[in-house]
Amino acid sequence: MTEATTGQQAQEAATFVKDAIGETPRVAIVLGSGLSDFSENLTQAVTVSYADIPHYPEPTVPGHVGELVAGRVNSLPVLTARGRFHHYEGHDLETLVLPIHLFAELGVSTVMITNAAGCVNDRWEVGDLMLITGHLDCSYLSSADDSPVISDPAIYPEATLNLARLAAQESGITLREGVYAWNLGPTFETPAEIRHIRSLGGDAVGMSTLPEIEAAAGLGLQVIGISCLTNYAAGILDQPLNHDEVLETGRRVKTTFAKLVTAILGRLAGPQSGGGPPDA
């Protein structure tokens, strides 16, 4: 798929979704593995199955439901994506970012991108939430030789990071901050790969998110990235990793995750739309 057709396809998808949800969302939230339950917090919810959206693929990974749920959190109109697409499912980069182009077509101003990630930083706990303040592209799609370098800080403006920090503070949630490394998967990393990622400055590792963040920033959208650290990355503990643990940790932290996301939405809404500190 070329970029021109991504735009065209996003337009057609947006026409369909607009018709189905009837309201322009202000914020779109991509819910990562095991985090889909956040949609249950929406009032006046309207669900649109990916299967009905023109040009939309369907997710194949357990924990990715495959539907958009639009609704309100307090008074703020939001759109949640329950399930995303990964490179390892066979999608090209344009398909991975089709949802982001759709959100832009719908007129959202902010995209919150969440994921389940392996915790590379061994001073942190499994179940911690991390604000993404930088990223490393360890996909080696654009270069096989170079050691990846941490992204341009302009993608993560201080004002946006501060908004998330304040939301965490007011909710009494410890929010870690760090660098997310994108690995293509589908297998978990080897301990040697994790040591390399740590040496480059990575704090968390996952198989998604980077293309979405870069596309959203490129389209001029405000971007907030949150990782749920569902397991210690390979080699930190003397035990094998598995996807069930990822989903199980997502379920365990779902209340804290919802509280943080709701608090961020409250700050994005601002006092004029009745947002303010949420009570969830």
**Least distance in angstroms from the C-beta of 176 to ligand HPA:** 15
Q: Least distance to ligand HPA from the beta carbon of 246, Å?
A: 5
Using rule CB under 6 A, residue 231 touches ligand HPA: yes
- Does 193 sit near ligand HPA (CB under 6 A)? no
Q: Of all residues in this chain, which one has the CB nearest to ligand HPA in the complex? A: 118
Question: Exposure string (b/e) for 79-105, b if CB count within 10 Å is 16 or more?
Answer: bbbbbbbbbebebebbbbbbbbbbbbb
Q: 28 vs 138, which CB is nearer to ligand HPA?
A: 138
Per rule CB under 6 A, is residue 207 in the interface with ligand HPA?
A: yes
Distance CA 105, CA 265 (A): 20
Question: Which of the ranges 112-120, 125-133, 137-145, 269-277 carries the binding residues for ligand HPA, by CB under 6 A?
Answer: 112-120
Q: How many other CB atoms sit within 10 Å of the CB of residue 155?
A: 18
CA 242 distance to own-chain centroid: 20
Stretch near ligand HPA under the rule CB under 6 A, chosen from 2-10, 98-106, 226-234, 268-276 = 226-234
Token readout for 128 is: 């911690």
77 in Cβ contact with 53 (< 8 Å): no
151 part of the interface to ligand HPA, by CB under 6 A: no
Q: What Å distances lie between residue 260 and 62, 63, 150, 162, 168, CA to CA?
A: 24, 20, 26, 13, 6
269 is a contact residue toward ligand HPA (CB under 6 A)? no
Nearer to ligand HPA, 9 or 209 (CB): 209
Does 189 contact ligand HPA by CB under 6 A? yes
Choice from 114, 133, 230, 262 touching ligand HPA (CB under 6 A)? 230
Q: Which is nearer to ligand HPA, 39 or 231 (CB)?
A: 231
Residue 241 found at the interface with ligand HPA (CB under 6 A): yes
d(CA 275, CA 170): 14
Contact yes or no for 212/32 (Cβ under 8 A): no
Residue type for position 266: G
Task: Give CA–CA dist 176/132, Å, rounded.
Answer: 9
Minimum CB separation of residue 134 from ligand HPA in Å reads 17
**Residues annotated as catalytic (active site), given as ranges:** 33, 64, 86, 88-89, 116, 207-208, 231, 243
Query: What residue ranges bind ligand HPA (CB under 6 A)?
Result: 116-118, 183, 188-189, 205-207, 230-231, 233, 241, 246
